[in-house]
Amino acid sequence: MDFPGTIYLDKDTLSILLLNLCRSLNKWGISRILFVNGHGGNIDTLHTVSMKIRKKYGMLTAAGQWWELLPPKIDGEFTETHGGHAETAIMRAINPKIVDMSMAFVPKVKSLTKNIETISIVQSKFEDGFVRIYYRVGDVSKEGSMTELEGATDVKNFTTATPEAGKKLLDKVVNQLAKFIPEFEKIEVPKTQEEP
C-alpha cells in the first residue's frame, strides 16, 4: 500500500475467501487445486489454507509462483525482483500502456544502517549472516523495485525489458504449469480423516 493504485485483501480476508472457494470446489468433487500466485506475500496464506483443506477435506494443493518457474536470472538480472526486468517485460507484454519506461533506471534499495544491508523484503545481511527484519517495500525503495536476492547492482537498468521478452517469459511459465498439471495429478496421497 506504499504505492499509488495498490489494492489488496488482508491475510484473514484472503484466507476466508480461499477456504470458501476450496470448500465449494470440494463439494463438486474437486480434489486438487493449483494456485497460480503472483505475490510472494500470499505464500504464507496459501500454505495455511492448503494445510487446512488437506486436513479437513483431503484436498491436495500446489502453488506455482511465476518467478519460481523461470531461471534465477534472465538477461543477467535476477528474476525475483519487485518491478525488475522480468516483471517489467511481462507487464509490457500484458499491457504496455501502464508501464512508464522513463522509470526503468532504478537505484539500489537503501540499507537500514551502515552495517545492515537490505537483501529482500524480509531478509537483511548482517556481517556474515542474515537476519529477518519485517518492513515494507516503501521503507527501503521509493520506486517499489527491489531485488529479492543478494548481489544487486547499484543502479538497475530495465530498458531491455521488451514486450517480446515478456511474451516469451509468459509462454515459458504457462508451458511449465501445463507440464506440471499432469504430474500433479499422478501424485498418490493417502486418504485423511476429517479433523474438526
Mean pLDDT by 10-residue block, N- to C-terminus, for the chain (196 residues)?
Answer: 82 96 96 93 94 94 94 83 86 93 75 84 86 83 67 67 94 96 92 62
Burial of 122: CB neighbours in 10 Å, binned 0-12, 13-18, 19+: middle
Residue 1 lies in a domain: no
pLDDT at residue 173, as a whole number: 96
Residues 91 and 54 in one domain: no
Residues 92 and 133 in one domain: yes
Residue 180 lies in a domain: yes
What is the 8-class DSSP label of residue 100? -
- Domain carrying residue 84: 73-165
Q: At what angle do helices 85-94 and 163-186 cross, to 10 degrees?
A: 100
Residues 113 and 65 in one domain: no
Residue 2 lies in a domain: no
pLDDT at residue 110, as a whole number: 76
pLDDT at residue 150, as a whole number: 58
Residues 56 and 32 in one domain: yes
pLDDT at residue 14, as a whole number: 96
pLDDT at residue 105, as a whole number: 72
Extract the C-alpha cell encoding 71.
Answer: 531461471
pLDDT at residue 96, as a whole number: 93
